[in-house]
Structure 1
């Protein structure tokens, strides 16, 4: 896995040269499970975005595109509570493997996650080797965690994108990363993956990068790969292709004078790595949009 190293950022992030948007995910935890077991559940609690700015910088975050003459009050967003999560992997990579290959859309990627139970095949294993667990069935659809708008305040439907608007005069460059909430438990932080999609409009969302946690080399090195592939009955759960990841995105330019970018994300625990040892443990993170 290729990882881009970055200097460690201090805990206090509000400084005069910084603009950031924070997504706080509290207590992503796992219930009892085994590798690709049917009983694995990941729960979520409070989910909010918070926009913070200083000096001449002024950004907002909103479910709808900001319009001229509207008060800039959107400094916090509540996300819809996630459905229970089970161990899963996407069946295809979000990355283009060649210039001729078509880019995967956000909707295609979020709908590509699959999971299945594993067991021990019939028959005796080779002498001196433990029984090998393989998939009991082909993969079944599973839902990762998504940046979903809540069904309230007159809104109904499924919306996964949001807007980050730069109300300042000069352009800014945003880097996106997620890191541990230091006051919370984070035993499962090394398993968490987040794919970022960015565009100039909701219809133009394109895959940008898949992230692992910032400054968590010891945890990431224990579970370094990000898997994808087709789950087939009788197949070995370890035999998958991998997605390239990094700790931060490359800078994303947002124009001044109310320029904006549209974002959406997909987050999941890599299903190949989940096991009974990690049952009931947590990952608590904050997602940062920081001016480079």
Structure 2
């Protein structure tokens, strides 16, 4: 065997040792031979000397010029939940206008985009706004508004009927444990909130709204029966009864609020609304004066009322 052949075989042996060593290191580090590692090993085996030198040169260049230590100074690894805030879309908000204003303009494209934006946000919270689209001159906007309203109202009717039936059935149960009583109260409160959410938007016919308010009144009575009704719920049912002109029903809740929650703002607001709607000026001014003399913190709406009638 001449010298050149011996050198060539030695190079092949050394190259094979490098390839095997690379595979072993790769296997120990990753617990499993990766596809890219096998590919490099084949290249180094087929191209002795040049293959290993090529990958070695690439590794040196990467660590010399591109690899940087990651700065984790500002990274928090806490498992506590945090609330993130997304910046407002200023450009989009700048182009938003009230639906009434949009409909008064003959730009149908803008009206349709606005309607779609409202629906995408949450149509159940904007039914009173969507209902205004029924009177739009644009047939597509009117048709879309009607479709959204019909679908949402049908879903509401089905859910309300199912929940009302369940409440009636659960009400018959006796000897509840404290946990079962709390669960039943929450069930009744959920039904009340759902009814109030819909009746406060006034998107159904007067007759149907009257029926829903009567159901809501019964649900509120059930909460009162269980000593679980809150002052804001009394104000809500009283306001709904006023809106359907059920003045005796509203007065019943006014008296209940004055007895159970005498020193809270919702009680004053409900009685002020009742006296104003029924035209009882003296009682209205007397109640307003009592509120001014009290230490109760008032909201912006009540403050404006006090300033107007002062």
Q: Which has the larger radius of gyration?
A: 2
What range describes the TM-score normalised by the shorter chain of this pair? under 0.3
TM-score norm. by structure 1 comes to: 0.17
TM-score norm. by structure 2 comes to: 0.17
Q: Looking at secondary structure, tell me which structure has more helix per residue.
A: 2
Larger relative contact order, structure 1 or 2 (CA cutoff 8 Å, min sep 6): 1
Q: Looking at secondary structure, tell me which structure has more strand per residue.
A: 1
